[in-house]
Amino acid sequence: MNKVNVTIVDADQTYIEPLVEYFINKLGKEKLEITVITRRESFEQYLAVLRNIDIVLINRNMYSEQLLKHNVGNIFYLCETEEESARGGIYKYTGADDIYEFVFKNLNDTAKVKLSEERKPNIILVYSPLGGCGKTTVSLALAKTLAAEGKEVLYISGEDIQNYDAVMGETLHMDSDFRTTILSGIELNKAMFSRYLSKNGFYYLRPVDGTLLSAGYRFEDFVRVAIMAKKSMQYDYIVFDTSPAFSDNLCGFMQQADINLIIVRQDMMSVRKIDKLMSAIDYKGGNNFTFLCNMYDESRHICLTEEYMNNKCVPRAFLKMFPGDDNACDEIAASKEFRDYIEFNF
């Protein structure tokens, strides 16, 4: 997708930061390429190279006629006073929401087309063959962190025994009507689907009361729900949590997922199990596999090396939180290591 190029020119850095944050939260960073300039000398250097810019938001005091030599789709003037804005421009202290509305009501068609392109949701499959590695805790922290960045996130659990209701404070469970609908093969639209969702920072499919087997479900039923959500719902990310069991259905779903997040640990027994998993999947092929080491203890030896593995595994982050902690989900979501990992990979 072609990104919308936005250049903001104003000497007040503290003013620009919330404005940039608001634009990103409304549109998503995947749609925008934002350049911030706070010094006149930097602006002159920026204009020394021919630019293609969709939107320029510029303080009138920093305006340069050199802009006319560039391919600029839209120019909006930021004014220090309301009297000045009445002569053409935006009163810069009117609020980020009002500035956003004004800008996107007055865009030319080219920028509007770029911004109206349908977003393509990504299915993030979170898996580990290791029981008790904190996979569900990491999955929920991932959903929470992405939602905090302004993304529309849906969490689905395909685990045989779903226990995330305690973390989410959920008292409702999936009813028999949902099972009948899923097993009948009906395609769910957004209105129908919303009846089975709850929201606590992000959307999540309510848990099954009991086990999948006792409730009459199969793993592939929830895979089908995730694929339907991707096709017809307006989500940026669908975080799909799985059981440790490895099966043909899981392997097939890995081929359909946009991102496969594999949770690993550093101890010898865990590493050997991960090594066997990696010999069975095409983690170097077209699918996007990323590895994260949870329950990391820096005082212990790291066995994630070629000395102990035939298939190289390179974790992108090392998390020190333990899944038994009452606030582990919030602690992971707040950790710098995890936020950096999200920024780099998603």
pLDDT at residue 341, as a whole number: 85
What element of type H or E holds 76? Answer: strand 71-79
The answer to whether 274 and 129 have CB atoms below 8 angstroms apart is yes
Q: Which secondary-structure segment (H or E) carries 153? A: strand 153-157
d(CA 329, CA 327): 6
In the chain, the domains with their CATH numbers are 4-116 (3.40.50.10850), 122-345 (3.40.50.300)
Q: Say whether 81 sits in a helix, a strand or coil.
A: coil
Residue 27 structure tokens: 């549109």
Mean pLDDT by 10 residues, the chain (346 residues): 84 90 80 90 92 91 89 91 88 88 80 62 91 91 90 92 85 83 75 84 90 89 90 84 92 90 92 89 70 90 81 80 69 88 78
Q: Give residue 31's pLDDT.
A: 78
In whole angstroms, give the CA distance from residue 37 to residue 10. 7
Give the tens place of pLDDT for each residue, 107-147: 876 666 666 655 567 899 999 999 888 999 999 999 999 99
Tell me whether strands 259-264 and 288-293 are parallel, antiparallel or unpaired: parallel
Per residue in 257-279, pLDDT tens?
989 999 999 999 999 999 898 88
Q: How far is CA 17 from CA 5, 10, 34, 38, in A?
A: 17, 11, 11, 11
CB 289 within 8 A of CB 283: yes
pLDDT at 324: 54
Nearest CA-CA partner of 221 in 273, 159, 172, 135: 159
pLDDT digits (tens, 9 = 90+) for 231-265: 876 788 999 999 999 999 999 999 889 899 999 99
Average pLDDT of the residues of the chain: 86
The HSE-up count of residue 55 (CA atoms within 13 Å, CB side) is 31
Three-class SS of 241-310: ECCCCCCHHHHHHHHHCCEEEEEECCCHHHHHHHHHHHCCCCCCCCCEEEEEECCCCCCCCCCCCCCCCC
